[in-house]
Amino acid sequence: MFGRLVAPLAVLAGLVLVSGHASAQWAPGAHDTYDIQLTAPFDVNRDVGVLVLGVFEASTSRLQELKSRDVHTICLVNAGAWENWRPDSGSFDQRLVGASYAGWQGERWLDIRAQEQLRPIMAARLDLCRSKGFDGVLFRNLDGYGQHTGFPLIAKDELVYARWLAGEARARGLAVGLMNTLELVPELVGDFDFAFAEDCFEAERCSALKLFRERDKPAIVVEYTNVRRKMDASCAAAQDLDVQVIFKTQSLNGKIHRRCS
């Protein structure tokens, strides 16, 4: 159980109590430099202010080393799909595991309506994120209602689930980010501290990120291309939206093709 805050000034200061210890919740900056690395080879010595890493893959020692260099870290949590290679994959009721996630072997959509069964698993992932020393969490695959999941999901299901996840993250002192799910940004921008989107310039779907920037919240786009004309076009569009763009390989390893100047 989480303890209760007893000092009014602590509440005003935005402090949270996690496992009996008070800590200030970090707020990601709109002008920090971001990177995301989920697979090897990693390059954690790059000069960035914020780095997204996998919640299971990143070691506590690596996070401590990054913290010593004043690099803030964010754990990536797949909240909407099951992955057969995860150490907690056996915790999921297989009746909640649906259609395959296109293009990713071993990954399948979850029936996020069954929140009573999913919440303990996701809470454990958030506990792991916090215990390792991450500063924030980025939730992905909260757009199943618009995919072929094998379940009759609707937008309302995603909104309820996403808001529960955001609340649980904040209860642990973690900044909370939304990955993709751009159609629901108008409803969720108030619940999340920052946003990541993949290939939205290529698909002409990035405009929703403007709602985050209007609230001075960071918005980062990852584009999977190294074609110069496409990168130039994305950089021009990013300037209009005031969002940050990283051009990377789809495996999201340590390599960066380019950043917009």
Q: Does an H or E element contain 8, and which? A: helix 8-12
pTM: 0.90
Q: Domains along the chain?
A: 29-259 (3.20.20.70)
d(CA 196, CA 212): 10
Provide the pLDDT for residue 8.
Answer: 34
* Residue 3 pLDDT: 34
Interval 105-150: pLDDT, tens: 999 999 999 999 999 999 999 999 999 999 999 999 999 999 999 9
What does the chain come to in residues? 261
Q: Which residues pair with 97 in a beta bridge?
A: 110
Q: With contact defined as beta carbons under 8 Å apart, do 249 and 255 qualify?
A: yes
Q: What is the pLDDT of residue 141?
A: 98
Q: What is the pLDDT of residues 97-108, one digit of tens each?
A: 999 998 889 999
Q: What pLDDT does residue 139 have? A: 98
Strands (E), the chain: 15-18, 21-24, 34-36, 50-54, 72-78, 81-83, 97-100, 107-110, 136-140, 175-179, 194-198, 219-223, 244-248, 256-259
Per-residue pLDDT of the chain (261 residues; tens, 9 = 90+): 323 233 333 333 333 444 333 345 899 999 999 999 999 999 999 999 999 999 999 999 999 999 999 999 999 999 999 999 999 999 999 999 999 998 889 999 999 999 999 999 999 999 999 999 999 999 999 999 999 999 999 999 999 999 999 999 999 999 999 999 999 999 999 999 999 999 999 888 999 999 999 999 999 999 999 999 999 999 999 999 999 999 999 999 999 999 997
Task: Name beta bridge partners: 108.
Answer: 82, 100
Q: Are 246 and 223 in contact (CB under 8 A)?
A: yes
Q: Are 218 and 32 in contact (CB under 8 A)?
A: yes
